[in-house]
Amino acid sequence: MKTSLRRWVVRTVLAAALSGVVGVLSPTGFAAPAASVGVQRIPVILDTDIGDDIDDTWALGLLLKCPELDLKLAVSDYGRPTYRTRLLAKLLVAMGRSDVPIGVGIEVAGVGGEESQGAWLGDYDLKTYPGRVHADGVQAMIDLILSSPKPVTLIAIGPLSNVAEALKREPRIAERARFIGMHGSVRIGYGGSTNVAAEWNVKCAPAACRAALSAPWEVTITPLDTCGLVQLSGSTFSKVRESNDPVAKTILANYRVWAAKRSDLAPPSVERLSSTLFDCVAIYLATGTELCGMERLPIGVTDEGFTRIEPGAKPMQVATSWKRLESFHEWMAERLTGPNAPASGH
């Protein structure tokens, strides 16, 4: 190797290492992502009930910080399509990713209530969104999955009305995608309780959840057993709170607005700790599973919204325990305050 070439290689590898894009250990010990050195990114669709609990907003930000993942489409789910899609749009603008196509999810009768991030959303006009807006978000999901050269990962972090509708319209999507969801309660309920619960995303639409979990795609879920234990506090929370990163700042601004409306869900001090960040675990599971204890379990869905281990039900990968929960908190804080993933196609 010529000296000049060798110098260039050394310089490039060093620069890559310093910017955290090759598989070197970062200061907190995590293998940094390898997105910019020819590693294939995973095409992702996010299906979200953003605008109710605040964890979807954290999860969206986290997804934009994962260079392994290439967000191709984000669709609002579980009704209130106008509010949720406007919120998605304004969040993506604030987070510096207004190139991401978004889709309007289906209306769900009877779903309404207060807009807990309405004070941040203001009178934002969806027409001003620079990216593409699909009026039929379900069809956009189907079209993307069927046309993608690589299998799509569908990350679903809400009740599954859109996903069930998509499977009904076009069952072949299950041959072309894998499903990762924040759903259920297998052995643990809310807040680490040993009473299993009819978890919200399942309970709101049990039939839709049953359709999604039993479809013939690879299914991975984080039930309350793992996602219900995630909460940033101490140094991991303050790292995000003190960050000047636009994604972190947008999350915190929305968190404060949301907490003022939702004192029933918000912790006592929003400046010291997060609420439970259920949905962020589904994002993590699209990148890897090493921090979780995974089990392959046959899971059935009852009409009341319980997820039971049921012989004969479809087996799926279930994150039933944490191997290293504190490492997950550190990973989240590091990602949320790190660089944005490149735009799609880069």
Residues that bind Ca ion (CB under 5 A): 49, 56, 157-158, 279
Query: Closest CB to Ca ion among 157 and 286?
Result: 157
Q: Give the distance, in angstroms, between the CA of residue 322 and the centroid of all CA atoms in the same chain.
A: 18
Q: Which residues contact 308 (CB under 8 A, 6 or more apart)?
A: 299, 300, 301, 302
Query: Closest CB to Ca ion among 67 and 159?
Result: 159
What's the closest the beta carbon of residue 77 comes to Ca ion, in angstroms? 9
DSSP 8-state assignment for residue 1? -
List the beta bridge partners of residue 337. none
d(CA 255, CA 252): 5
Residue 133, classed as helix, strand or coil, is strand
Query: Closest CB to Ca ion among 191 and 315?
Result: 191
Query: Closest CB to Ca ion among 81 and 158?
Result: 158
What's the closest the beta carbon of residue 118 comes to Ca ion, in angstroms? 17
Gyration radius from the chain CA atoms: 20
What's the closest the beta carbon of residue 278 comes to Ca ion, in angstroms? 7
Query: Closest CB to Ca ion among 181 and 189?
Result: 181
Tell me the two tokens of residue 180.
């990762």
Q: Are 272 and 233 in contact (CB under 8 A)?
A: yes
d(CA 74, CA 77): 10
Residue 199, classed as helix, strand or coil, is coil
What's the closest the beta carbon of residue 182 comes to Ca ion, in angstroms? 7
What's the closest the beta carbon of residue 157 comes to Ca ion, in angstroms? 4
What's the closest the beta carbon of residue 12 comes to Ca ion, in angstroms? 40
Q: Strands (DSSP E) along 135-217, which ranges?
A: 152-156, 177-181
Provide the Cα torsion 181, 186, 187, 192; round to 10°: 40
Q: Tokens 């290689």 label which residue?
A: 9
Query: Closest CB to Ca ion among 80 and 239?
Result: 80
Query: Closest CB to Ca ion among 41 and 90?
Result: 90
Q: What is the number of other CB atoms lying within 10 angstroms of the CB of residue 332?
A: 26
What's the closest the beta carbon of residue 78 comes to Ca ion, in angstroms? 8
